[in-house]
């Protein structure tokens, strides 16, 4: 196990976690951003499996949220407002009339306090931040600790903990774009995905949940037995088309399988499985990624990555029947997502 620290432009630090088999994860204190995850393919070649900028200063704007830690609330909040105890709470609108991923001053733009740690079979980082009452419009002082741990089983474990002195919405996630082909060799069109989900949330033209749950049976959203992501890219389904000919939808987990998601890239042989105690996740297939960004291994393009944003649903702030994002004062928010890699 090893830990390397590098200064970035005098203001940020990049921490690289390395396990005994050579897998590594690089993380900035700025935004808790995962810049690289180096994972072996079937031939033992270590290659990067997440999208990241060539020039680290591009993370300052980072409108695509590459690799970032998202909060207080991941996803879109309709009308940038919600009701709490009979009062309307107004948030910053940064996605049309809506509030996206914690707003313009969300956790993706925070410099986190970082405490590295190491044991015999784990190397990791503890990221700490206090979000003060009124930050971004949200009520309550919230203390957040997020732990990134890499072990010798090629597992990346993300633990999220938070507490607040007022009732407030919170659902944290990581917004890494995965591409298991390695070093952006291909798009994710041929990635084979299995999801433990029989329902997803319908979206309107602004990608806001309508409040309706749709059963996946017989559709391009049925990943229960596995399918390639390209099925949705070429689908005539209105729900695929509204998302830009792809996926940007919240899937509710059934919790009938050992892992909530399994992703396989046949060309490289890499397999990533996701296990979480979150109630669902947004799967986003980079449908709106433009071709002007300079990434570490080349130019960006549509479908170059896929995000698995494990979280509760901000739709619960406006509709019943959705996994809640509300954290009561004095209670503890404790969530975990484990990304396991193999071939």
pLDDT (tens digit per residue) in 57-81: 999 989 999 999 999 999 999 999 9
Spatial CB neighbours of 61, under 8 Å, sequence gap ≥ 6: none
Question: Which pLDDT score is estimated for 140?
Answer: 98
- Among 305, 275, 339, smallest CA distance to 66 is for 305
Enter the DSSP assignment of 98. Answer: B
Question: Band of the pLDDT at 10, cuts 50, 70, 90?
Answer: confident
Residue 292 pLDDT exceeds 90: no
**pLDDT reported for residue 157:** 98
Q: Tell me the three state secondary structure of residue 90.
A: strand
186 pLDDT more than 90: yes
Mean pLDDT value across residues 193-209? 97
Name residues whose C-beta falls within 8 Å of residue 194's C-beta, 6 or more positions apart in sequence.
223, 224, 225, 226, 257, 261, 262, 263
Peptide bond into 72 cis (omega under 30): yes
Per-residue pLDDT, 290: 86
Domains in the chain, please, with CATH?
A: 2-342 (2.70.98.10)
From CA 74, how far away is CA 58, in angstroms rounded? 21
User: Distances in Å between the alpha carbon of 185 and those of 51, 181, 188, 291, 305?
Assistant: 12, 6, 10, 15, 11
For residues 250 and 314, is the Cβ–Cβ distance under 8 A?
A: no
pLDDT > 90? residue 85: yes
Helix (H) or strand (E) holding 218: none
Active-site residue, selected from the candidate residues 129, 191, 264, 309: 309
Burial of 4 (0-12, 13-18, 19+ CB in 10 A): exposed
Does the annotation mark 175 as catalytic?
Answer: yes
* pLDDT tens readout for residues 272-286: 999 999 999 999 999
CB neighbour class for 153 (10 Å; exposed up to 12, middle 13-18, buried from 19) = middle
For all residues of the chain together, what is the average pLDDT?
Answer: 97
Round to whole Å and give the CA distance between 144 and 163. 7
Residue-level pLDDT at 271:
98
**101, 129, 175, 249: which one is catalytic?**
175
Q: What is the pLDDT of residues 91-113, one digit of tens each?
A: 999 999 999 999 999 999 999 99
- Whether the pLDDT of residue 114 is over 90: the answer is yes
Share of the chain above pLDDT 90, in %: 98
Structure tokens at 269: 């042989």
Over residues 303-322, mean pLDDT: 97
Q: In whole angstroms, what is the distance from residue 20 CA to residue 7 CA? A: 24
* The pLDDT value given to residue 248: 98
């Amino acid at each position: 196990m090893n830990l390397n620290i590098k200064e970035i432009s005098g203001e940020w630090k990049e921490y690289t976690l390395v396990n005994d088999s050579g897998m590594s994860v690089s993380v900035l204190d700025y935004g808790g951003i995962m810049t690289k995850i180096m994972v072996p393919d079937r031939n033992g070649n270590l290659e990067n499996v997440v999208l990241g900028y060539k020039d680290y200063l591009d993370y300052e704007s980072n409108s695509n949220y590459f690799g970032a830690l998202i909060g207080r609330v991941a996803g879109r909040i309709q009308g940038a407002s919600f009701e709490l105890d009979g009062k309307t709470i107004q948030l910053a609108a940064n996605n049309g009339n809506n509030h996206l991923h914690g707003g313009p001053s969300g956790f993706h733009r925070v410099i986190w306090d970082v405490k590295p740690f190491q044991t015999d079979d784990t190397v990791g980082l503890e990221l700490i931040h206090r979000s003060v009452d009124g930050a971004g419009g949200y009520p309550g002082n919230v203390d957040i600790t997020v732990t990134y741990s890499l072990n010798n089983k090629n597992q990346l474990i993300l633990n999220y903990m938070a507490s607040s002195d007022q009732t407030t919405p919170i659902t944290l996630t990581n917004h890494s774009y995965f591409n298991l082909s390695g070093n952006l060799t291909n798009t994710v069109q041929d990635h084979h995905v299995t999801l433990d989900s029989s329902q997803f949330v319908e979206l309107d033209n602004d990608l806001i949940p309508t409040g309706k749950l749709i059963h996946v049976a017989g559709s391009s959203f049925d990943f229960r037995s596995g399918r390639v992501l390209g099925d949705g890219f070429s689908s005539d389904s209105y729900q695929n088309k509204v998302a830009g000919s792809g996926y940007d939808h919240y899937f509710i987990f059934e919790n009938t399988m050992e892992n909530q998601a399994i992703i396989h890239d046949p060309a490289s042989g890499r397999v990533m499985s996701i296990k979480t105690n979150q109630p669902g996740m947004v799967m986003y297939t980079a449908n709106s990624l433009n071709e002007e960004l300079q990434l570490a291994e080349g130019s960006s393009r549509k479908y170059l990555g896929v995000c698995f944003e494990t979280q509760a649903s901000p739709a619960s702030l406006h509709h019943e029947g959705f996994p809640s994002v509300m954290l009561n004062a004095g209670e503890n928010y404790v969530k975990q997502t484990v990304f396991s890699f193999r071939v």
